[in-house]
Amino acid sequence: MRYCESPFFYHRRKTREVVVGEPARGGVVMGGDNPVVMQSMLTCDTMDTSESVKQTLDLVAVGCQIVRITAPTVKDAANLQNIVAELRARGCHVPIVADIHFKPEAAMEAAKWVGMVRINPGNYADSKKFAIKEYTDEQYGAELKRIEEKFTPLVLLCKQLGRAMRIGTNHGSLSDRIMNRFGDTPLGMVESALEFARIARRNDFHNFKFSMKSSNPKVMIECYRLLVARLEQEGPDWNYPIHLGVTEAGDGEDGRIKSAIGIGSLLCDGLGDTIRVSLTEDSPREIEVCRDLLAQIPKLANLESARFDIQPSFDSFTFARRQTPEIELAEGISCGGEQTVRVVVTKAAWDKVAPKISPKADVKPEAIYEDLNVFEVDPMRDFEINCDTQLITVKDSVTLPPITAFRLLAAKLKRLGRNNPILLKDCLNFESTPLEPRIALLRASVVIGSLLADGIGDAILIRGESGAGQSLRLAFNILQATGCRSFKTDFVACPSCGRTLFNLQTVTARIKLRTEHLKGVKIAIMGCIVNGPGEMADANFGYVGGAPGKINLYVGKKAIKFNIPEAEAVDRLVDLIKEHGKWVEPEEKELVASV
C-alpha cells in the first residue's frame, strides 16, 4: 500500500471535485486542482440567530471559506433556515455545514437548508455504551443493514437537493460495533468511514469528502495515510477529497504545534483539500493559523523535479521509532537506543539560557551543537560511514527541504545497513531576516514533528526561532506534542461549539493555572459528551460538560463524579487528581521564554 506518490517529493493527490453551495454565488469547489480550502466553526448556541450570523460574518471577514454550525436537535437544525436566510439577505453566500451527531432526524432537517451535512459514523446510527460484544459475521452484517436503513434517506435527500456531505470519523467516538471488530485503531476509523461511503456509492452519491480526526497528531497522521491507501486499493473512482484536522488540539502554542504537526505533515506529502485548525480560542484565530500554515508548505515540501529511487526507512502506517544504538551526546547525556529524544542548542543560545536555568529544571538545553562529534552529510550524494555509534545529521545549505533531506538520510543509512542516531534540524538554510515567532513555530513543528512521527530522530536542534528561550521552549513543546517527552501536563481541549455547556476558554485557562505543573498527567477538557469519553480514553482525568452549569469528572473514560456545580468543579478536579496519587505541589516556574 502507499499513501502518496513518494515521501521524497511533493505530488498533490488528485481527487474528484466536490461542490458545496453555488460556486457562482460564493460556494466552494473542493478537490481537483482547486486550492486548499480553510474552514472553521461557530461557538455560539445555534438557536441564537443573530449571534450565529455575527460570528459567521466575522469568520468570512478574515477569509474563512466554509463555516460549520452544530445542529444537536431537530429544532436547532430547523433554525439553520433562519441563519442562512439572514446571511443571504446580507449578501453573504459562504457555504454552511451542519454538524450532526446522534440524531439522523436532525440531519434530514438540516439538509434542507445548508450546503453540506457532516455526519460522524461512530454515532450517527449507533449509541455508544462502551459495550464489549463479539459479533459473528451474520450479526455484523445485520448491523450494517440497520445502519444502511438509517443512513440511506439522508444520502437520497442530499443527492436530490444537490448537497455535499462530510463523512467524518473521530478517534474518540468510534461505535461499539467498530471497536469490538477493529479496536480503537486507525484501521477502525477507516473502516467505519468506508462502510458509510459504500452506502453513499450504492445510491450513486459521490458529492462527499472524508475526515479522520484525532487529538494525537501521530494517530491522526497514521489514520489519513491509511485512509488514502485504502481508497487507492478500492479503485481509481474512490478519489474523494480529504479534510484535515487535529481535533481538540487546545489553545496557544500547544494547539498550534499539534495542528501544524498533523496537518502540515500531510500537506507536505500532497494530501488534503480542506483544513481546520481546532483551537480553544475565538474562531477567527483559527483562520490566521490556517493561512500561515498553508503559506509554509511550498517552502517545506520538495517541489523540485528531483526523484529518489529508494525505499523509505519507516512504515507509513504503523509508528515505530527507528532503532539506533545508545551513544554519548554530551557529558552525562546519552541519546539513541531507549533514551528520550534530546534537545540540542547552539553555543549562542546556550550562553544566553543555561546560566538562568536551575539544574532541576525540566526545560533545559542538553548539548551544544558546535561541541558535538557529528558527521554532516549531503544525502543527495553517496557517503560512507564505518560505525553505527557516530551521530549523523544533514549538513547546512543542502538544497532539499529538511523533511525530504532527513527522510533521505534515514533511507540511505538503512540501505547501507547502518542505524546511526540522527540529529534533526528544523532548517538547513537561513532566511535573510529572522522569522516571526508564529512562523518559526509552525515551520519547526511541521519539520521536526513530521520526522518524529515517522520515527526518525534521536536529538533535535531548532534554529529558525531566533529567540534563545523561545527556541528551547518550542523544542520541548514539539517533543511533548509528538509523545516523545513529557515535561508538563498534557491538555486535550475541544474548540467549543453550540453544544458546549460552559465557557471553554475561561475554564481551560483556570484548569491550566491549577494543573499545568503535573508532568506526565493528561487532562481532557470537553464542552459536551460528543467526543468526550472516547477521546479521553488515554487521558488520566476528564472535565466534561454534563448539563448547563453542571460538570462530570472522569478517570480515563469512566465517569466518577456527576453534576458538580461549575463554580466548584475545578477544585473537585484537583481533589480527584489528589485521590489518585497524581498530585504534586507546584514549584517556582523557570522563565526561559523571555531570554
Residue 32 has pLDDT above 90, yes or no: yes
189-218 average pLDDT score: 96
Tens of pLDDT, residue by residue over 480-494, are 999 999 888 888 877
67-79 average pLDDT score: 96
pLDDT of residue 174: 84
Q: CA 433, CA 450: separation in Å to the nearest integer?
A: 25
Residue 591 has pLDDT above 60, yes or no: no
CB proximity list for 136: less than 8 A, separation 6 or greater: none
Q: How confident is the model at residue 126 (pLDDT cuts 50, 70, 90)?
A: confident
The answer to whether the CB of 239 falls within 8 A of the CB of 227 is no
Q: Give whole-number Cα distances, 494 to 74, 127, 238, 462, 514, in Å.
A: 23, 21, 31, 29, 19
Name the amino acid, one letter, at 578.
Answer: K
Helices 252-259 and 284-300, axial angle in degrees (round to 10): 50
The answer to whether the CB of 263 falls within 8 A of the CB of 221 is no
Q: Where are the beta strands (DSSP E) in 378-489?
A: 391-394, 423-425, 459-461
Percent of the chain having pLDDT more than 90? 73
Conformation bin of residue 462: beta by default, left when phi > 0, alpha when psi is -120 to 50: beta
Q: How confident is the model at residue 107 (pLDDT cuts 50, 70, 90)?
A: very high
pLDDT of residue 315: 95
Backbone dihedral angles phi then psi of residue 164, each to the nearest 5 degrees: -100, 170
- Range of weakest confidence among 95-99, 127-131, 215-219, 432-436: 127-131
pLDDT of residue 47: 97
408-437 average pLDDT score: 94
548-574 average pLDDT score: 90
pLDDT of residue 595: 47
Collapsing DSSP to helix, strand or coil, 424 comes out as strand
390-407 average pLDDT score: 96
Q: How confident is the model at residue 537 (pLDDT cuts 50, 70, 90)?
A: low
Tens of pLDDT, residue by residue over 16-31, are 999 999 888 889 999 9
What is the DSSP secondary-structure string of 175-219?
A: -HHHHHHH-SSHHHHHHHHHHHHHHHHHTT---EEEEEEBSSHHH
| Domains present along the chain, CATH in parentheses | 18-300 (3.20.20.20), 327-481 (no CATH), 490-579 (3.30.413.10)
Q: How confident is the model at residue 495 (pLDDT cuts 50, 70, 90)?
A: confident
pLDDT of residue 102: 83
Q: Give whole-number Cα distances, 254 to 278, 303, 430, in Å.
A: 11, 29, 25
Residue 204 has pLDDT above 80, yes or no: yes
Q: How confident is the model at residue 590 (pLDDT cuts 50, 70, 90)?
A: very low
Q: CA 281, CA 504: separation in Å to the nearest integer?
A: 8
pLDDT of residue 183: 85
Collapsing DSSP to helix, strand or coil, 577 comes out as helix
Residue 69 has pLDDT above 70, yes or no: yes
Collapsing DSSP to helix, strand or coil, 94 comes out as coil
What is the DSSP secondary-structure string of 328-350?
A: EEETTEEESTTSPPEEEE-HHHH
Residue 212 has pLDDT above 80, yes or no: yes
Which of 225, 211, 228 shows the shortest CA–CA distance to 164? 211
Residue 101 has pLDDT above 80, yes or no: yes
Residue 594 has pLDDT above 80, yes or no: no
Residue 588 has pLDDT above 80, yes or no: no
Residue 166 has pLDDT above 80, yes or no: yes
Q: How confident is the model at residue 442 (pLDDT cuts 50, 70, 90)?
A: very high
Q: Is 40 exposed, middle or buried (0-12, 13-18, 19+ CB in 10 A)?
A: buried
Q: What residues form DSSP beta bridges with 40?
A: 67
- Average pLDDT score over the chain: 92
Q: What angle do CA 498, 499, 504 make, to 5 degrees?
A: 85
Cα Rg, the chain, nearest whole Å: 24
